[in-house]
Structure 1
Amino acid sequence: MTHPQIMRALSGLLLGMFAAILSSTIVTNALPHIITDLGAGQSAYTWVVTATLLAMTASMPLWGKLADLFSKKLLIQIALLIYVVGSLIAGLSQNAAMLITVRVVQGLGVGGLVGLSQIILAAMIPPRERGRYSGYLGATFAVATVSGPLVGGVITDTPGLGWRWCFYIGVPFALAALVVLQRTLHLPVTRRRVRIDWAGALLVSGAVSLLLIWVTLAGDSYPWASWQTAAMVGGSLLLGALFVLVELRASDPIIPLRLFRDKTITLTSIASLFVGIAMFAGTVFFSQFFQLARGESATVSGLATIPMIAGMFLSSTVSGRLITRTGRWKRWLVLGGVLVSAGTGLLGTMRYDTPYWRIAVFMGLMGLGLGMLMQNLVLATQNQVEPKDLGVASSVVAFFRSFGGAIGVSALGALLANRVASYTRDGLADLGVDSGTASGGGIPDLDALPAPLRAVVESAYGHGVADIFLFAAPAALIALLLTLFIRETALRTRQ
C-alpha cells in the first residue's frame, strides 16, 4: 500500500480506536454520578470498569486467532457493530447489574477494536516503518483518553443530557469508522481451513474471569483467607493448567505456546502485564481523587488529567518517528520504564491538599513513560514473528496488558475501599465522632456533608488514592527491569 492508501485506511482504524478508548475513559468522571444515581457502591464503581476490561481481555486472543484465519476487515466491522449495540443498551441501564452486564458486551467489541487495529496496521506496514504509524495509534489513544473524561464531565454537568449520553457519544464515531473502513481498507484474505480452538478460548476466559472475580470480591464479600479464596484461586489455576494441556495438543491453538520460546515475546508480554497495572491505575482512579478528595466537578476533573495525556501524546508520536528513522527501539522501552516508575512513585506522595502543579508534574512523567512503553512493546513483539502469527502475537501482548489492567483495577479498587474506610474511621475518631458505621462501600455526596466531616472524607480519599499509586509503583519497576533483559534486534524492512 502507498502512503496515501495507508493514511486513508488508517483514518478508519483511528476512528474505531478512538471510539473504543472513548468508551473506556468517558465514564471515569461520570462514575461517581452514575453509581449514586443507580444506588450502588464502591464495588459496583470498580466493576463498571472491570467488566469491560474483563471482556476485552478474555476476547483478545480469540480476535487475534480469527484475524489469522479470516478477513481482518470483516472482523473489525463486526467488532464495531458489537460495540455500537453494547453502547446503545448501556445508555438505557436501569440498575448497576444491568449496566455491568452490558459493559461486558461493550468490552467484547472494544477487545476486537483495540486488538485488530494493531494487527491490521502490522499487516499493512513492515516493522521498520511501523513505528511512525504506531505513533498515530498512540496519539489517538492519548487524545481519546483526555477527551473522554473531558467530554464525559461536560455531558454529566450539562442539564438535559446526563451520564447516559456518555455511552451514546461514541456511536457516531464507530459508525463513521465502519463506513471509512468499508471504502478504504483492502487487504488480501488468506483463509485456512482449520478448527477454531473453542476449548482453549473458553478455558483461558474462565481462568481469567475467576481470578478477577476473586480479586474484586475478596476483602469485601468474604475475607482474603477463606474457603472462597481457596476455591476461586484453585479453580483459576486448574483452568489455567487445563488450558496449557489443551494448547499443547491443539492443531491450531488460540495462543500458540511455541511463541513463548522466543525470549523477546515472553519478556514483552510479562512487561505489558505490569504496564497495564500502572496505566489503568492512572486512568481510572484519578477521577475519584479530583472529585472526592478535592471537590472538583466532573469537567474540571477531566481537565486536571491533561498533563498525563499530553505526556502520552508527545512521547508516543516522537518515539515512533525516531524509531522509524533510526531503527532503534530498546532505549525507549527502558526510558519509558524509568519515567513510569518515577511518576507512579511520586504520585504515591500526594494528598488532598497537595499543590496541583506538583501533581501535574508527576502525571506528566507517568504519561511520558506510558507513551514510550505501550506501542513499542507491541512493535518489539511483531518484529519477532512470521506474518502467519502476526495476529495472535499482537493480541497476546494486548491480552497481557489488559489482563494487568483488569487485575490492577480490581485489586486496587478493593484496596481503595479498604483504605478510605480506615482513614475515615481514624479521622472521625480524631473529631470524637462515633466511627462504627464508617464504610468505604458507598460514594459520598460531599456537598451534603458538614465542613468537618467533608474534610475527613476528602483527606481519606486523597490518602487512599495515593496508596493506590504506591502499590502500582513496584509493578512499573518490574516492567522496567524486564525491559532491560529484552534483546534489541533490527527492525525488518519487509513483512
Structure 2
Amino acid sequence: MSAQPAAPPAAAEPMTHRQILEALSGLLLVLFVAMLSGTIVSVALPQIIGALDGTQSQYTWVVTASLLASTASTPIWGKLADLFNKKLLLQIAIVIFMLSSLACGFAQNTGQLIAFRALQGLGMGALQILAQVVIAAMISPKERGRYNGYLGAVMAVATVGGPLLGGLIADTSWLGWRWCFFIAVPFTIAAFALLAKTLHIPTVRRANVSIDYWGATLIAAGVSILLIWVTFVGNDFDWLSWQTAALAGGGVVLLALATWVESIVKEPVVPLHVIRRRTPALAILASLAVGMAMFGGSVFLGQYFQIGRGFSPTEAGLLTIPMMAGVLLSSTISGRMVSNTGKTKPYILVGLVVLLAGFGGLATIDHQTSLVLISLYMLAVGIGVGMSMQNLVLVIQNTVPLSEIGAASGAVTFFRSLGGTVGVSVLGAVLANQVATSITEGLAKAGIPVGGDAAAAGGSLNIAALPEPIKEIVRAAYGDATGHIFLISAAIAVVGLIAAAFLKPAKLRDSLDLPAPAPKEEAVTGA
C-alpha cells in the first residue's frame, strides 16, 4: 500500500539535457513546418490570388480560413493532450497537415483554396499547441525559458526563410506558386519519423473522458458569423440593416451560449476557472491584443511591397527580413534572460512598448516612404513580438498545475489566434474599403470612367494584367491605405500594454508541477 504513493515522483523525474534535446529535435521540426506553412505563403499570396483571379476579400479569407480553423480547434487539441497520448495526437496532426497541404497545392480556384486552407488550419493549430504542451510536460517553467531560446530560433528561421523561399518559388517559372504548399510534405515526413524515434513521454489515461464538442462548435460558429459580417458590412449591406442585426446579433448570441456551455460542462474547451484568475486573464487579454496587432498587421506587408511598391515576391521576402530578424534576436536573448532571472513581466512590458513604437511608425507609411524607415519600423515590431508573445504563454503556464497545462496553453493560444483571426478579418475589411475608395477617386481624377471594366480591373489583384494608368492608381491606393491598418494595430497594441502593466510580478517555479499540494500532504502525515 505504501509503495504506491512513491510512483508519481518517479514518473515526474526531470529529463536530462541530452534527453530533452533529442525529444526537442522532432518537436522543433514540427513547429518549423507549422510556421513555414504560414510565412512561405504570405509573400506569394498576392501572386497566388492574382493567378486564381481572386479579390481583396478572398485574399483576406485565404488567411482567415486557416487562422479560424486553427483558433477553433486549438482548445480541443489542448484538452485532448490532457486526456490522451500526446505523441499519437502529434502524429495525427502531422498527417492532417500534410494531406491538406497537398490539397492546397492542387486548388483550381480561390473557393477551393480557402476550403483546403481551413483544413490545413486544423493541422496547424494542433502542431503549434501540442508542441507547446509536450515541452511544458518535459521542462519546468524556469528552465523552459532556456529552451524557448531554441524555440524562438527555429520559429525565426521559419519566419525569415519562409518569405524568401516563398518568393523564390513564386518567381521560379519551372516551380510556380503551387510548390509553396507542396514543399511542406518532405518536412512533415521527416518530422513524423523524428518524433517516432525521439519522443517518449508517458501516456496519460483518465477515466470518464468528456470532450466539449458543443462549446467548440458554438465558439467556431459565433466567431465565423461575426467575421463574415465584418467582411461584408459597408459594401454588400449597410451598418444599420437587417443583415447586420442577423449576423452580428446571431454571432453574439452564439458566443453567449458558448460561454454558458463552458460554465456547465465537465471538460470545457476554454476553462473558465483558469481565465477568471487575474494573472491568466490579463495575460490572455495581452496575448489577444498582440495576436490582433501582429497577425493583422504583418499579413499585409507582403501585399504592400508587391502591390503598393511593385517589388517581386523574392524582393518582398527580402524586405521582410528586419521584422523576422527582430523576432529571432529578441526571442533568443529574452528567453535566456528569463531563465536566468526567473522574471517575465519586465521583458513583456519592454516588448510591448517596442511593438507599439514599431506599429506607430508603420502607421505613417505610404507608397513613397523610405525603405530604410520601413525596415526600422519592422525591426521594432519583430523585437516586440519576440519579447512578449512566448513569455505571455509562460506566465499562464506558471500559474496552473501540470494537469491543466494543456487546457491553459490551449486557452492562451486560442485567444491569441482569435485575436489574429479577428485582426486579419477586420484590417482586411478596412483595407478593402480604403482601397476601393482610393481607386474610385484616382480613376475619377485621371478622367477614366468609373464603373464597368475599369472598376472590375481596379478590384483585381492580378496587377500585371491591368492597363498602365489603372496599374499606377491601384499601386498608389494599396500603398497609401496600408498605413491606416497599422494605425489600428497600434491602437490594439495599447490594450495589450495596459493589460500587461497590471500583471503581478512573479518568479517562475523550478518544479514541473505546482508545489502547493505537497506541503499539505506532509502536514497531514505529520499530524
1:181 aligns with 2:199: no
Whether contact under 8 Å (1:135, 1:375) holds in the other structure is no
- How far 1:429 moved relative to its partner? 2.9
Which residue is 1:299 aligned to? Answer: 314
Write the letter of the residue equivalent to 1:345: G
1:59 aligns with 2:73: yes
CA distance in structure 2 between the partners assigned to 1:237 and 1:453 by the alignment: 41
Whether contact under 8 Å (2:146, 2:335) holds in the other structure is yes
Listed as ranges, the gaps of 5+ residues in structure 2 are: 1-14, 513-527
CA RMSD of aligned residues (A): 1.4
1:162 aligns with 2:179: no
1:266 aligns with 2:284: no
Listed as ranges, the gaps of 5+ residues in structure 1 are: none
1:360 aligns with 2:378: no
Write the letter of the residue equivalent to 1:149: P
Q: How many residues align?
A: 494
Which residue is 1:494 aligned to? Answer: 511
Write the letter of the residue equivalent to 1:119: V
Whether contact under 8 Å (2:297, 2:485) holds in the other structure is no
Which residue is 1:95 aligned to? Answer: 109
Secondary structure of the residue aligned to 1:224 is coil
Whether contact under 8 Å (2:444, 2:450) holds in the other structure is yes
Once the two structures are superposed, residues 443-494 of structure 1 have per-residue CA deviations (whole angstroms, 9 ceiling, x without a partner) of: 14247432x5433222211111111101111001111111000112111100
CA distance in structure 2 between the partners assigned to 1:137 and 1:178 by the alignment: 18
1:442 aligns with 2:456: no
Whether contact under 8 Å (2:463, 2:471) holds in the other structure is no
CA distance in structure 2 between the partners assigned to 1:221 and 1:71 by the alignment: 47
CA distance in structure 2 between the partners assigned to 1:114 and 1:10 by the alignment: 13
- How far 1:138 moved relative to its partner? 2.1
Q: Report sequence identity in percent.
A: 52
CA distance in structure 2 between the partners assigned to 1:99 and 1:446 by the alignment: 22
- How far 1:438 moved relative to its partner? 3.7
Which residue is 1:85 aligned to? Answer: 99
Which residue is 1:478 aligned to? Answer: 495
CA distance in structure 2 between the partners assigned to 1:360 and 1:178 by the alignment: 37
Which residue is 2:472 aligned to? Answer: 455
Whether contact under 8 Å (2:160, 2:321) holds in the other structure is yes
Whether contact under 8 Å (2:105, 2:181) holds in the other structure is yes
Note closer, same or farther for the CA distance 1:146–1:224 as it changes in structure 2 (3 Å cut). Answer: farther
Which residue is 1:249 aligned to? Answer: 264
Match of 1:331 among 346, 361, 386: 346
1:399 aligns with 2:414: yes
CA distance in structure 2 between the partners assigned to 1:101 and 1:430 by the alignment: 39
Match of 1:289 among 304, 327, 343: 304
TM-score (norm: length of structure 2): 0.91
CA distance in structure 2 between the partners assigned to 1:253 and 1:119 by the alignment: 17
TM-score (norm: length of structure 1): 0.97
1:239 aligns with 2:257: no
Which residue is 2:164 aligned to? Answer: 150
Which residue is 2:54 aligned to? Answer: 40
Once the two structures are superposed, residues 317-356 of structure 1 have per-residue CA deviations (whole angstroms, 9 ceiling, x without a partner) of: 0000000011111001100110111101110111111111
- How far 1:37 moved relative to its partner? 1.7
Moved more, 324-333 or 143-152: 143-152
Secondary structure of the residue aligned to 1:196 is coil
1:276 aligns with 2:291: yes
Deviating above 4 A after TM superposition, structure 1's stretches of 4 or more consecutive aligned residues are: none
Which residue is 2:517 aligned to? Answer: none
1:375 aligns with 2:393: no
Secondary structure of the residue aligned to 2:108 is coil
CA distance in structure 1 between the partners assigned to 2:272 and 2:290 by the alignment: 22
CA distance in structure 1 between the partners assigned to 2:206 and 2:321 by the alignment: 46
Whether contact under 8 Å (1:292, 1:446) holds in the other structure is no
Larger radius of gyration: 2
Write the letter of the residue equivalent to 1:250: V
Secondary structure of the residue aligned to 2:300 is helix
Secondary structure of the residue aligned to 1:26 is helix
Write the letter of the residue equivalent to 1:225: L
Whether contact under 8 Å (2:49, 2:462) holds in the other structure is no
Secondary structure of the residue aligned to 1:225 is coil
Which residue is 1:128 aligned to? Answer: 142
- How far 1:223 moved relative to its partner? 2.6
CA distance in structure 2 between the partners assigned to 1:449 and 1:317 by the alignment: 47
